[in-house]
Amino acid sequence: MHTPDRKPDSGGFKDAIGPNIDTTNPEAAKWFWEKIRDRYVKPYGFDYIWLDETEPDIDPAKDVFFIGSGTRFYNAYPLFHTISVYEGFRRDFGEAGG
Amino acid sequence: MILARAAYLGAQRNGTVFWSSDIVSTWDMLKRSIPAGLNFTASGLPYWDTDIAGFFSPSLPADYHAEHKPLIDGSEVRGTIGHYEDYPELFVRWFEWGAFQPVMRAHGERNHNEVWSYGKRAESILAKYLKLRYQLLPYTYSVAYRSYQTGAPYMRALFMDFPDDPKAANIPDEYMYGPAFLVAPVTEQGATHRTVYLPAGCD
C-alpha cells in the first residue's frame, strides 16, 4: 500500500518486509494468489492455507487503497485478503481443492 | 480452507477459520475465551477456535505456585513445563474444551503439543478427548453442513436456541455445540465440579 503521493508505506518495519499488499486491487490479489499457488499449492498439494495475519500489520489510516481511502476501508482489509486466496483457489482448482 | 486471524463481516464466505490470535496461556484467558468465541460466532462467522492451552507462555515469578494443588501432577515433565506446575492441568482443561470448538487445534510458542508431553495422567485424558473428537467427526461435519446451508453457527450462545428464557441471554460460559450438546467447560484451576444452568424448555 502507498500514501496519497504514491510512496510505498513500509511503516516501522524494515524494507525487506515491505508494505501491506493491497488486495482490494484485483491485479494485486491475483499476484498474491498466484505466488501462493505456484510456490506452495501446486508443488505440495496443500489445500488448507494458514494466512496468519489477515489484518493490515501497518496502520493503513494514512494510506490509500485501490478502492478508496485507508480510513474508509480500514476494517475491510481481512475481507479482501481472504477473498484473494479463496477465489483464486476456486478459479484454479474448482471444488476439489489443490 | 483458510486459517486466518483478523476477520470482517462477509469473510465467512471465503472458506475461513478464524482463531483468537496469540493469547497468553493462563486460566483467566481460558475463561475469557469462551464468551469471546460466542460473540464472534454470533456475528455470523461460524468457524472459530483458540490455540489450545494458549500461545504465549506467561513469565511467572520464581516463587510461583498454583492457587490450588494441581489436579494433574506435572513433576515428571518439569523439563517441559518449568515451574508452571499447573500447566498440565490447564492444557488438559483447554484441550477438553477444544474437542467442542468448531475446529480443534493445539498450537503455541511452547515446544510441545503432543498428547504424551504432559505426563501419564494428562496423556490418558488428552487421548480420551482426542478420540472423542474423532468419534464426533460425523456429527461435527453434519452441524457444519447445516451452518453452510443456513449461515447459523454451530457453536453458539444459549440465547440462540433458548430465546424464550431470559436467563439464558447472558450466560458467558455455556453454549450449544450443535443441537445435541450443551457444553460447559471447567475453567477454574483445581475445580472438580461446576454449576451448569439448564435453560428452560430443554427438559
The DSSP H or E segment spanning B143 is: helix B137-150
CA distance B47 to chain A (A): 14
**DSSP bridge pairs for B3:** A50, B17
Partners of B2 on chain A (C-beta within 8 Å) are: 48-51, 82, 85-86
Residue B27 banded pLDDT, cuts 50, 70, 90: very high
- Would you say B30 and B98 are in contact if contact means Cβ atoms under 8 Å apart? no
Instruction: Enumerate chain A positions whose Cβ falls within 8 A of a Cβ in B.
Output: 47-55, 75-79, 81-83, 85-87, 89
Domain membership of residue A4 (yes or no) is no
What is the bridge-based pairing of β-strands B175-177 and B2-4? unpaired
Domain membership of residue A84 (yes or no) is yes
Which of A48, A55, A81 has its CB closest to that of B3?
A48
What is the bridge-based pairing of β-strands B48-49 and B181-183? unpaired
- Would you say A61 and A31 are in contact if contact means Cβ atoms under 8 Å apart? no
The DSSP H or E segment spanning B155 is: strand B155-157
* Angstrom distance (rounded) from CA B69 to CA B81: 16
Please give the full DSSP string across A16-72, using - where no structure is assigned: TT-SPP-TTSHHHHHHHHHHHIIIIIHHH---SEEEE--S-SS-GGGSEETTEETTT
Judge whether B14 is closer than 8 Å to chain A, CB to CB. yes
Q: What is the pLDDT of residues B102-156, one digit of tens each?
A: 999 999 999 999 999 999 999 999 999 999 999 999 999 999 999 999 999 999 9
* Angstrom distance (rounded) from CA B129 to CA B136: 10
Q: Would you call A55 and B6 a contact, using CB atoms and an 8 Å cutoff?
A: yes
Which of A48, A78, A89 has its CB closest to that of B11?
A78
Domain membership of residue A20 (yes or no) is no
Partners of B14 on chain A (C-beta within 8 Å) are: 79, 82-83, 85-87
Question: Is residue B167 predicted with pLDDT exceeding 70?
Answer: yes
φ/ψ (deg, to 5) at B19: -115, 160
Which of B1, B6, B15 has its CB closest to that of A78?
B6
Kindly compute the dihedral angle of the four CA atoms of residues B3, B179, B160, B203, in this order, to the nearest 10 degrees.
-150
Question: Which residue carries 503439543 as its cell?
Answer: B113
Nearest to B33, CA basis, from B144, B172, B133: B172
What was the pLDDT predicted at A15?
62
Q: Compare all CA atoms of chain A with the CA of B16 and give the residue at the minimum distance.
A: A82
Domain that holds residue A59: 26-96
What are the grid coordinates assigned to A49, written together? 492455507
Determine the residue among A79, A80, A83, A85 to mutate to test chain B binding: the one whose Cβ has the most chain B Cβ atoms within 10 Å: A79
Q: What is the DSSP letter of B156?
A: E
* All residues at 6 or more sequence positions from B175 whose CB lies less than 8 Å from its CB, including other chains: B34, B37, B38, B155, B156, B157, B158, B182, B183
Q: Can you tell me the mean pLDDT for A67-82?
A: 97
Question: Which residue carries 499476484 as its cell?
Answer: A31
Domain membership of residue A47 (yes or no) is yes
A&B contacts, CB < 8 Å: 59
Q: Can you tell me the mean pLDDT for A32-60?
A: 94
What are the grid coordinates assigned to B74, written together? 506435572
Domain membership of residue A89 (yes or no) is yes
- Would you say B94 and B54 are in contact if contact means Cβ atoms under 8 Å apart? yes
Q: Would you call A55 and B10 a contact, using CB atoms and an 8 Å cutoff?
A: no
* Angstrom distance (rounded) from CA A80 to CA A74: 11
Q: What is the pLDDT of residues A84-94, one digit of tens each?
A: 999 999 999 98
Domain membership of residue A37 (yes or no) is yes
Q: Would you call B14 and A49 a contact, using CB atoms and an 8 Å cutoff?
A: no
Domain membership of residue A8 (yes or no) is no
Q: What is the pLDDT of residues A30-39, one digit of tens each?
A: 999 999 999 9
What was the pLDDT predicted at A16?
65
Partners of A23 on chain B (C-beta within 8 Å) are: none
Domain membership of residue A78 (yes or no) is yes
Q: What is the tally of structural domains in chain A?
A: 1
